[in-house]
Structure 1
């Protein structure tokens, strides 16, 4: 059972939107603490924290698409 949970955790950390990591870098804290905050906020607010997380993920993905660094003029 623990290997199954570890495999799911590894997959989500590798292929996720990296919202927690990016927020932690901006705030100067550990990503683990940001993840715990989102988990606790989801339980206490009955899912509103999860909606905020998905909104941030969408916003960060959109920002990355808009502000991609181009290496040359011909990359347009």
Structure 2
């Protein structure tokens, strides 16, 4: 889970940075379209992964009390 959080944060920061770059600086239109097609979905995906990687306290307690023993 820690690796998922790190990668998700990294993707989210890069996506937000690229979107802000496209908004602030005067770059060609085709680059703005490329950034929007690539980094908007990537930002949404990474934000969703961050939300999923965070578990509730009840789930964490259940994991400690009843470890997975297999089937």
Structure possessing the higher radius of gyration over alpha carbons:
2
Q: Comparing both chains, which one has the higher relative contact order based on Cα–Cα distances under 8 Å and sequence gaps of 6 or more? A: 2
Q: What is the TM-score of this pair, normalised by structure 2?
A: 0.39
**What TM-score, normalized by structure 1, do the two folds share?**
0.38
